[in-house]
Every structure is written in C-alpha cells, then in structure tokens.
Amino acid sequence: MKILKVLAVLTATVFAGSAALAQTVGIGTTKGGATAQVSAGIAQVVSAHGGMNMRPAPMGGSAVYIPIVNAGELEFGIANVAQTFMAYSGTGLSEGQPNANLRMVATMMIFRAGIMVRNDSDIHSIADLKGKRLPSGYSSAPLFEFFLSGMLANGGLTYDDVKKVPVTGLVPGVNAFKEGKIDAVIGAVGAGFINAADVAVGGVRFIPLSTDSAMANKLFSIVPKAFLTEVAVGPTGIITPTTVMAYDYMLWAGKDVSDDVVYRVTKAMYESEGELHGLSPMWATHSSANMAKDQGMPYHPGAIKFFKEVGAWPGS
C-alpha cells in the first residue's frame, strides 16, 4: 500500500508539472503586417523560454483586441505607444472609452515614420503640402490619420489646408501614391513597400519635420508619446539626414493576469534580446535595457518585480 501511495503522489506531481508546462496564454494581434510579425516573435520566444505556450490571436485590428484584453478575456496584446496611450487614457481613437485595466509589460522596438513624396517633387517642407493631394480617412486604420494630422501640424497646417483623397489603409495610400492619385503619403522608414514605391515612381524622399519645440509639441499633442529622431542617409527615401517621427511599440497585459505569468513573459523577453534581434531587422532597435521605459502608464506588478530584480526598473 505504501508503494501505491508513493506512486500516486509521484503521478500527481508529474501531472501537475505537465499541466504547468502546458499552460497557454494568448496575445492579441492583427491578421498581417508589422504587428503580426512582432507578436509572432514574442510568442516564439515566450513559448521557448517562458515555461508556457503563447499563441497569437489574430483579429481585425488593435482596436478590436484592446477592449478584450481590458475586459480580462485575453491575456496580452501589442500596439504602438500612441494608440496604447489613447486606449488607456480614453483619448484620441478611444475618446470617452478608457481601457484602464491595461498594464504595460515591455517597451520594445522603435518605428519611424514620415511623409514621403516623389524625389522630383517641388515639395520640400511640410508647409509646401498646402493645396496638395493627401490621403485621408484611413477607414480601416484610423490611427494613420492622426499621424498625418500631427505631421501637418508640425508644419503649421491642418487637413483643411490640403486636398483629401479617401483611402482605407497604409498600403492602399501608398498604392494611390504610386498611381499618381496623391502627391504625398505617410510611410514607415525601412518598410518593404517603400522600396516598391521608390522603383514605381523613379525615386522617393521623406520630408523633414521641424525640430522647433513649439512645432514639435503640436505634433506631440496629436500623437501622444511620439518623439523626433534624425535618420542618417541609407534607408530608401532618406537622401540627406532627415528628421522623422518615431514611436515605441508596446507589449501589455490585463491587470488581472497573474504576476507569475507576466514575470515569466518579461524574463523570457529580457533574456532573449539576441534571439529577438535575429528574427528580423524590425527588432534591431529593441533593447532589454529599455524595456521598462516610463511611458506615463502603469506597468504590471509581475513585470515590475522582474525589472527590479535585474536592476532595470527606473530608480532601482
């Protein structure tokens, strides 16, 4: 009987261990594009090193899964910091609908964006866009209208100063630019579709944004948590050192996700910087040392615990 009891205890222990290893968590993502690639990388690293399975949950956009994570029906999600801040604070895209249950887990890579024109265009500044044809609406991705509005404000303009050409999303806008239907379009520095546009129109270039503090603040008032950065010559469309808009990408969780789960996710990502860099050039600007960056939103206790243990938490 004693042997049977010992076997029973061992069996229960094995099953308990197996259940823990088999734990599965979800991460909200899009059905394609950069967000899908980022979430796939996170899921790969967490599943390999976090003692759990993380599975991407593709949806129609971050605006769909943000409230689902906020409601506690999905563990994790990712989005750029501007949309994350709007969602948490109930401003901008989430006007009047705060998602106060979101908790930051990690600040990740930096994305850079600007307004692109044909290289032979007579447009050399934001002010030169007055009266020109620009994409508007972005019905499937409205955040890009905020981005363009902010960039126009950086040059003292508004959407009322340009001719609006309705588009549904980022790539459709670039396609309209390639077809000569618009004069300038928002683009992500280093993106593959910028290379295609460059070939299609015989060369593209990005318009520099103003670093004047007053003009910069006009941009930041529309695109929260963005910042300006100068890009050296090299990427397609950067033919001279050019100041563009930059913003971080964020991983976040619902406030009720267990501290242990968030701790392990944070640890897996922090200790896998090199592996993440190897996934794609998109991860090149990701730094473990920057994961705890203050974004004006609360971090999850599980993430804070890990950051304090490794001395990465601000002030620790």
Rounded mean pLDDT, 152-176: 95
pLDDT tens column, 208-230:
999 999 999 999 999 999 999 99
Contacts of 268 (CB under 8 A, 6+ apart): 45, 46, 48, 49, 50
% of the chain residues with pLDDT over 90: 86
* HSE-up of residue 243 (Cα within 13 Å, Cβ side): 15
Q: What are the tokens at 180?
A: 């000569």
AA identity, residue 86? M
pLDDT exceeds 70 at position 45:
yes
User: Mean pLDDT in the chain?
Assistant: 92
Fold of the 112-247 domain: D-Maltodextrin-Binding Protein; domain 2 (3.40.190)
Domain positions in the chain:
2-110+248-309, 112-247
Q: Do domains 2-110+248-309 and 112-247 have the same CATH topology?
A: yes
- 33-37 long-range CB contacts below 8 Å, 24 or more apart? 34/111, 34/188, 34/191, 34/282, 35/62, 35/78, 35/79, 37/280, 37/282
- Mean pLDDT, residues 136-142: 90
pLDDT at 53: 98
Answer whether residue 301 shows pLDDT above 50. yes
Position 19 confidence tier, pLDDT thresholds 50, 70, 90? very low
Residue scoring higher pLDDT (211 or 60) = 211
Predicted pLDDT at 22? 58
pLDDT-based confidence at residue 11 (cuts at 50, 70, 90) = very low
Per-residue pLDDT at 84 exceeds 90: yes
Is 3.30.1600.10 the CATH number for 2-110+248-309?
Answer: no
pLDDT of residue 169: 87
Distance CA 217, CA 229 (A): 14
**Mean pLDDT within 39-45:** 97
CB-based contacts of 256-260 (< 8 A; 24+ apart in sequence): 256/72, 256/101, 257/25, 257/75, 257/76, 257/103, 257/300, 257/302, 258/302, 259/300, 259/301, 259/302, 259/305, 260/302
Residue 89 has pLDDT above 80, yes or no: yes
Model confidence over 242-280: pLDDT tens digits?
999 999 999 999 999 999 999 999 999 999 999 999 999
